[in-house]
Structure 1
Amino acid sequence: MKVSREQATKNRAHVVEVAGAQFRRHGFDGIGVADLMQAAGLTHGGFYNNFASKDALAAEAVTLVFAETTERLRQYALAAADPYSAMVSYYLSPEHRDSIEAGCAIAALSQDAARGSQELRAAFELGIAAYLDLIVELAGVTRPRAMAIYATMVGALTLSRTVTDPALSADLLGAAADGLLAGKDS
C-alpha cells in the first residue's frame, strides 16, 4: 500500500527523532539501519528513499537533537531566578546523567563524532556553537569563558556516565557544579 506524501513526511520526521535518541543510547556504530527503523515502527525497506546514508541520517538527527536540547535548557534556565546556576545544576544533574537518550549529544556521542564523516562533524560543530551561544546568553560571560564552562560540564557528565561507582559519579557531577558555581562571576 502506497503511503501518502504527508504520511511519508511524518514518517521521515519520526525516524529522525527516534534516531536521535537511539544514537545517543547506542552510539552511531551500536545500532544498524534495520534496528533504527524498527525502533521507529517502520520497515527498513524505505530507509534509502528518505536518507542518502546512515551518516546523513545521523547528521540530521544530531542537528535536531542540538536544537531541541539547547531550547529545552534555555527555557528551563530562563524560568529560574538565576539562569546560569539553573543551567549548570540541570546539566550536571543525576537526571541528565541517567537519561543519555534524551540528553546532550556531545556527552553521549563526541567520541563517535570525532571519527565520523565531515557532514556529521559539521553538524556537531554547529551544535557546539549553539551551546556556547546559550552559555554566553545565560551566564553573561565571554565566549572563551563559555568554552571553559561547556568543556567542564561535558567532561564531568561524560566521566560520571563512565564510572561504575555511584558515589564517584555523583562526586564528579557535584565537584564540577561546585567549581562552576563558585567561579560564576570570574
Structure 2
Amino acid sequence: MPAEMMFVGAAMKVSKEKLAANRSAIIGAAVTLFQERGIDGVGVSEICTAAGLTHGALYAQFGSKSGLVAEALGATVQASRQRMADRGRGHADPLMAYLDYYLSERHRDDISGGCSFPALGADVARQDTPVGERFAKGFSASVEAIADLLHNVPKNERLGRASAILSLISGAVTASRATRKAQPDASKEILVAARNAVKTLTGIV
C-alpha cells in the first residue's frame, strides 16, 4: 500500500476515534448536568463547556438538544443496568444485593451518578415524544432485568412484580431525596420501608 494511502487511512481512523470520544464526552456531561439540575435547567452551551467542545460538535452528533437528551437517557439506563449486574455478581441473591445499594443513603445522595428514573422521571414527562419513548424503552428493559431475578415468584407474575418493584424503589428514592433536608429521619425511614415492601414483592417473605 502506498505511503500516502496509509497516511489517509490513519487520519480517518483518528478522526473516527475523535468523533467517538467527543460523543462520549458530550453524553457524559449531559447525564451529569441533567440529573443534577433537570433537563430544562441545563442549556446546550453549559453541556458543551462541561464537555470541552463547541456547539457545532454537539449538533453534528445529535442534531438537537432533544436528540442528545434521548441518547443521554439511553446511556444512563444502560449504566444502571450494568450496576445491577455488577453489584449482584457473586451474591446468593443478586437482586437484593442491588436493592441494598439502590435503597441506600449513598444512592439517595448521589443524584448525578445514580439511577435516572428517580432523577429524571418528572422531567421526561414534559419532553418530546422521542425522549419519552427512550425513557419508556429503558424502563421496560430494566423491568425485564429485574423479572429475570425473581426466582421465588411464579413465572406468569414476574413482569408485573418487577414493574411494581421498579416503580416502588424509584418512587422511594425520589421521596427520600425530597425529604432529606427537612426531615432526615423520615427520609431514612422511607428507604427502610421500601426495602421491607420489596421483600414481599420478591417472594422472600
TM-score, reference length from structure 1: 0.92
Question: How many residue pairs are counted as aligned between the two chains?
Answer: 184
Report the more deviating stretch, 43-52 or 138-147.
43-52
Q: Is the 8 A contact 1:74 1:134 kept in 2?
A: no
Report the alpha carbon displacement of residue 80 of structure 1 after superposing the two structures with TM.
1.6
Report the more deviating stretch, 81-90 or 144-153.
81-90
Distance between the aligned counterparts of 1:50 and 1:135, measured in 2? 32
2:117 paired with 1:106: yes
Partner of 1:28: 39
1:51 to 54, 62, 66: 62
2:175 paired with 1:132: no
Kindly name which structure, 1 or 2, has the bigger radius of gyration based on alpha carbons. 2
1:8-50 Cα distance to aligned partner (Å, 9 max, x none): 2211221112211211111100110000111112233432222
- Greater RCO structure (CA 8 Å; 6+ sep): 1
Q: 1:181 to 1:7 in 2, by over 3 A?
A: same
Distance between the aligned counterparts of 2:200 and 2:124, measured in 1? 32
Partner of 2:195: 177
Report the more deviating stretch, 169-178 or 71-80.
71-80
Report the more deviating stretch, 159-168 or 4-13.
4-13
1:95 to 86, 91, 106: 106
Displaced runs of 4 or more, over 4 A: none
Q: CA RMSD in A?
A: 1.6
Distance between the aligned counterparts of 2:15 and 2:159, measured in 1? 46
Distance between the aligned counterparts of 2:201 and 2:22, measured in 1? 46
Partner of 1:70: 81
Q: Is the 8 A contact 1:59 1:120 kept in 2?
A: yes
3-state DSSP class of the match of 2:52? coil
Report the alpha carbon displacement of residue 139 of structure 1 after superposing the two structures with TM.
2.2
Partner of 1:148: 164
Report the alpha carbon displacement of residue 147 of structure 1 after superposing the two structures with TM.
1.1
Unaligned runs of 5+ in 1: none
TM-score, reference length from structure 2: 0.84
1:102-151 Cα distance to aligned partner (Å, 9 max, x none): 11111000111011111100110111011101111122341011111111
Distance between the aligned counterparts of 1:49 and 1:58, measured in 2? 14
3-state DSSP class of the match of 2:167? helix
1:52-82 Cα distance to aligned partner (Å, 9 max, x none): 1101000001001111111111221233221
Q: Is the 8 A contact 2:161 2:202 kept in 1?
A: no
Report the alpha carbon displacement of residue 182 of structure 1 after superposing the two structures with TM.
4.5
3-state DSSP class of the match of 1:101? coil
Distance between the aligned counterparts of 1:47 and 1:81, measured in 2? 44
